[in-house]
Structures are given as structure tokens and as C-alpha cells.
Amino acid sequence: MTKPQPETLVLEADETGGFPNSPLPVLIYRQILDTSAENLAARFEALFARHRWPPQWRYGLYDFDHFHSTAHEALGVFRGLAHVRLGGPDGCKLDIAAGDALVLPAGVGHACLEASDDFTMVGAYPLGQSWEVERGQPGELESICRRVAAVALPDEDPVGGALLSLWRQGAETTEQ
């Protein structure tokens, strides 16, 4: 069985906005699950849990730029669609829809710019990592970058895809 291949996006730090982002790529898995099947939310939860990313919530995406400095995050869209921004206030915009999954490295800013009324996701984090919400404080960027750099790479990709090889390449590039 071949591993699902994601779209990738590398986001530079936004120093003026206080968003560290990451040298590790954001992974965007399009239509990773069939949207015509029953109970897409439970199917995302089972997929993430099987790969040691325990699901922790079902909700939308905050409409303000934020990031997590102590955990990586997997988002599985199980209903609706949204226009989102990744990377902080000056970041990259993209559309996501039911069946898509995003994997955000620690430090990557994200916000919902527009969404359908029914837009909802499952959120999951690697086993042993706990998350918090950071809103980008330029004066705290140095200490936040240290926290982000200390977040361990996960043992598995939350959807069984290419995360390990892609993120190990990103980590090696940073160390050189």
C-alpha cells in the first residue's frame, strides 16, 4: 500500500507579528477520506488514533491568528469548507473542505478567514504532547522559538502518510 502524498508548504517566521512558523512543512492531504461515507468525524478520529495522534476536540477553526508552541496539530475537516490563512497575518491563504486533513508543525500560525455555517473539524495531537493557544507576541518570539524547537517529532504521520520523511528532511536542513 502506498503512503498518501501531501501538498507541502514551508512558512518563514513572521518576526514583526511574533509568529515563529517552522522550517518543517505544513502537510495538506486533500480528500484523504471519502466524504460520501457515514460519520466522517468518527472516521478521522479513528484514523488519527490508529497513528498515535489522539483526537481531542470537534470544533471549527478560530477566526484569529494563533499557533501552538508545545505541540504539532492534525486537523481533519469532516463537514463544510473554509478559507484559511497559514503563517500569521501576512501568511498564505488556501481553501480546505470535508475530507481534507492538515498537519501543522508546532509554531505555524493559522486562522479561519471565512467558512460555511457547518464547517467543523477534528483536532488531534501526537501522543504525549499537550497544546496551548499562542497569539503572536513579537517581544516573546525568541523564547517561543526555543519552545517550538524543543517539540519532538512525532512517531507517526496522523494519516499514515509521508510526514516522517518530509519532517526529518526539514529538521536536518535546520541543523546544518
Asked if 4 and 30 count as a contact pair (C-beta separation under 8 A), the reply is no
pLDDT band at 174; cut points 50, 70, 90: low
The model's pLDDT over 5-54, given as tens digits with 9 standing for 90+, comes to: 899 999 999 888 899 999 999 999 999 999 998 999 999 999 999 999 99
DSSP symbols for 24-50: EEEEEETT-S-TTSS-HHHHHHHHHHH
Choose from 16-20, 124-128, 139-143 the range with maximum mean pLDDT. 124-128
Is the pLDDT score of 88 beyond 50?
Answer: yes
State if pTM tops 0.85: yes
Is the pLDDT score of 1 beyond 70?
Answer: no
Confidence (pLDDT) at 24:
96
What mean pLDDT do residues 67-83 have? 98
Residues in a beta bridge with 84: 94, 112
9-16: long-range contacts, CB 8 A cutoff, minimum separation 24: 9/86, 9/92, 9/94, 10/170, 11/86, 11/87, 11/91, 11/92, 11/108, 11/109, 12/87, 13/141, 13/145, 14/87, 14/88, 14/89, 14/90, 14/91, 14/109, 14/136, 15/138, 15/141, 16/138
Q: Which domains does the chain have, with CATH numbers?
A: 7-162 (2.60.120.10)
What mean pLDDT do residues 118-135 have? 96
Confidence (pLDDT) at 169:
83
What mean pLDDT do residues 134-152 have? 92
